[in-house]
Structure 1
Amino acid sequence: MRNVLQDQATKVQFAGHETFPLRLLWPKKAFEAVRGGASLRTFQEHEAIARFGVGRNMAVSMRHWNMASGLIEERGGQLWPTALASAILDDDGLDPFVEHPATIWLTHWHIASTPEMTTTAYFAFNALPGVDFDSEGLGSELLRLVEERGWRATRVTIKRDVEVFLRSYVRRTGALTEDAAEPLLAELGLVREARIGGWFEFVRGPKPTLPDGVFAFALDRFWQRTGGDSTTLTAEQVTYEPGSPGRVFKLDEDSVVTRLMALDAITDGSWTWTDTAGLRQVHRRHEPDWLDLLTRSYGRMAEAA
């Protein structure tokens, strides 16, 4: 299996969030701040406190998470919204106020499918063996990798990053604090506290709130990163390869196959599924329109509501 963490060119990051998890209101606030292009210091200036209604450290965290989420990018010496952000968060976009699960799934995909800005999340979802782990064990595995690869990160930095990862994804039952109520990614229920104190577990399964179009969008990005010019991917690659939809969304193999079987209809024939003599593959005829995939996802959700 391809492991980008073993690639010398891979960039990693264990900080930038200022110890804050991603919050519900941040994508829209950040989008509005950079809508027409903004200074690279927009989230660091003293005015950021008044602009965003949060402290400076939290504003810096807002920038970090929105860049990691694929919603903001640096271009031409300024900060700009990405095409994805404009499609979703514009006033007449697909989900301006982050009310649909599709937006949260997309956010999670960007955070956990590549290691460049959120290495701990990538490692946890794609490199940890099994489904159970504890924070100390996760930190030790990351520290071992850091020392092995010669990256720059201290034990304290990694410990804090693991803490933020868990606060981002684990819904704390019975907690009444504002911090426990707001983390955006915890809504997905991908990580939960295990019965053994101090342990956590990934929740694998079908993921009924994950739209097929978002799965297809993720598969397209995964294909671009790992498949190169290949016109086929196997069900096993899509399920188990690091950075794959199966690993990032914690889908079991049967759930992945069910999704792959629906691709022909979702992509209007751009991709097709075959199962011949035990060889289960998805074939790419041509590239699907990613915006169309997402529009269908949100449209179907709106119709269902």
Structure 2
Amino acid sequence: MESSLKFFNAKTASFGRHETFSLRYAWLTKGFQAFNHNHTVFSSDESTIELGVGKNMVNAIKYWLRATAILKDSGEGLVVSPPLGKAIFSEKDGWDPYLEDEATIWLIHWLLVTNSELATAWYWFFNCFHKPEFTSEEAAEALAGFVRNNVSGKHSEKTVKQEVAMILRMYSPPKLNAKSGIEEGLDAPLSSLKLVTATENSHFYRSLPGSQPNLPTSVMSYAINEVFNQRRIDMLPINDLMYGQNHGIAIGNVFRLTESALLAKLENLVTAYSENFQINETAGIHQLSRTGKNMTSSDFLRDYYQSAT
């Protein structure tokens, strides 16, 4: 089956395309529904009126819709990415068009940080950066080093380093003050996952693995099935799922899971979908295999949202 995931490509990395605006709660819903009514909304002279924001914000909304794989470029223009765009954000029967369920935030996180082409810095931070405590400057220099060593073409080092500040702003629970403002502080959906936190003196940040009890099994199932589809295989070592290899997607790192937490999640997955997944041991290596009943990745999500209603 086809996967929405792409392998890391040194030639297609990109940085700084969000117009310095971080993702906000209402933007995916507003942007998707406006696009669904008018497929030329982002190129229209009336875009600022239709979306009710300034021109730079119009571009930012378009970017975040593409970075989270809700919309994609077909080569002939933007189209809704099947099947998740409509399934989540449809005004009539969308699973969670207003992001009221934390499972949807986890899903958006997954879609964003596995987009190595349009959200390269996010992909790097959650798949390749393994330092549990760091300063913004240390992370920025690490990203710049990754780009110098692994990315083709010319990219402004200043722009590359600024991506880290954007990631920290989006993921660390905000400290409200006069400069940041209440609106921006409360309008950061990915911060609710607490995958990044600032230390008390605000100089250091932490992004530590944990048990992630609020991460639904169905979202994990979706993610793992997508990795299987991407690699066109039906068996993966659990260590590979934890850490990835050769700049590949690392499930454990993406969701900031400890090794024991990942194994517990996989055991829950096997219990819930015993016809689809099994854990076995081959030559002393624990592996997750996909077998039996054929389900698409979105089927796992449908199970979750239908049971939640």
TM-score of the superposed pair, with normalisation by structure 1: 0.88
DSSP 3-state at the match of 2:115: coil
Q: Which residue of 2 aligns with 1:163?
A: 165
Q: Which residue of 1 aligns with 2:205?
A: 200
1:229-263 per-position Cα deviation (integer Å, ceiling 9, x unaligned): 43211211111114222110101111111111123
Question: Which is worse superposed, 187-196 or 22-31?
Answer: 187-196
> Residue 10 of structure 2 contacts residue 152 of structure 2 at CA under 8 Å; is this kept in 1?
no
Q: Which residue of 2 aligns with 1:103?
A: 104
> Residue 44 of structure 1 contacts residue 56 of structure 1 at CA under 8 Å; is this kept in 2?
no
Q: Which residue of 2 aligns with 1:183?
A: 188
Equivalent position amino acid for 1:204 in 2: P
Cα distance between partner residues in 2 of 1:5 and 1:217? 15
Q: Which residue of 1 aligns with 2:116?
A: 115
> Residue 35 of structure 1 contacts residue 80 of structure 1 at CA under 8 Å; is this kept in 2?
no
Distance 1:97 1:7, change over 3 A: closer
Cα distance between partner residues in 2 of 1:122 and 1:154? 18
Cα distance between partner residues in 2 of 1:24 and 1:198? 27
Q: Which residue of 1 aligns with 2:50?
A: 51
Distance 1:197 1:34, change over 3 A: closer
Equivalent position amino acid for 2:280 in 1: T
> Residue 138 of structure 1 contacts residue 162 of structure 1 at CA under 8 Å; is this kept in 2?
yes
1:13-49 per-position Cα deviation (integer Å, ceiling 9, x unaligned): 112110111111111111112226613xx32443111
Cα distance between partner residues in 2 of 1:198 and 1:23? 25
Q: Which residue of 1 aligns with 2:80?
A: 81
Equivalent position amino acid for 1:270 in 2: N
1:299 aligns with 2:306: yes
> Residue 276 of structure 2 contacts residue 291 of structure 2 at CA under 8 Å; is this kept in 1?
yes
Q: Which residue of 2 aligns with 1:15?
A: 16
Equivalent position amino acid for 1:25 in 2: A
Cα distance between partner residues in 1 of 2:220 and 2:105? 12
Following TM superposition, by how much is the alpha carbon of 1:300 offset from its aligned partner in structure 2, in angstroms? 3.9
DSSP 3-state at the match of 1:25: helix
Q: Say which of 260, 263, 266 aligns to 2:269.
A: 263
Q: Say which of 194, 212, 217 aligns to 2:222.
A: 217
DSSP 3-state at the match of 1:171: coil
Cα distance between partner residues in 2 of 1:184 and 1:164? 14
Structure 2 portions without partners, runs of 5+:
none
TM-score of the superposed pair, with normalisation by structure 2: 0.87
1:232 aligns with 2:231: no
Following TM superposition, by how much is the alpha carbon of 1:288 offset from its aligned partner in structure 2, in angstroms? 2.2
1:245 aligns with 2:248: no
Question: Which is worse superposed, 96-105 or 259-268?
Answer: 259-268
Following TM superposition, by how much is the alpha carbon of 1:187 offset from its aligned partner in structure 2, in angstroms? 1.4
Question: Which is worse superposed, 98-107 or 285-294?
Answer: 285-294
Distance 1:45 1:5, change over 3 A: closer
Cα distance between partner residues in 1 of 2:223 and 2:205? 25
> Residue 9 of structure 2 contacts residue 116 of structure 2 at CA under 8 Å; is this kept in 1?
no
Report the aligned-residue RMSD. Answer: 2.4
Structure 1 portions without partners, runs of 5+:
none
- The structure, 1 or 2, with the larger RCO (C-alpha pairs under 8 Å, 6+ apart) is 2
DSSP 3-state at the match of 2:25: coil
Following TM superposition, by how much is the alpha carbon of 1:5 offset from its aligned partner in structure 2, in angstroms? 12
Percent pairwise identity: 28
Cα distance between partner residues in 2 of 1:34 and 1:5? 24
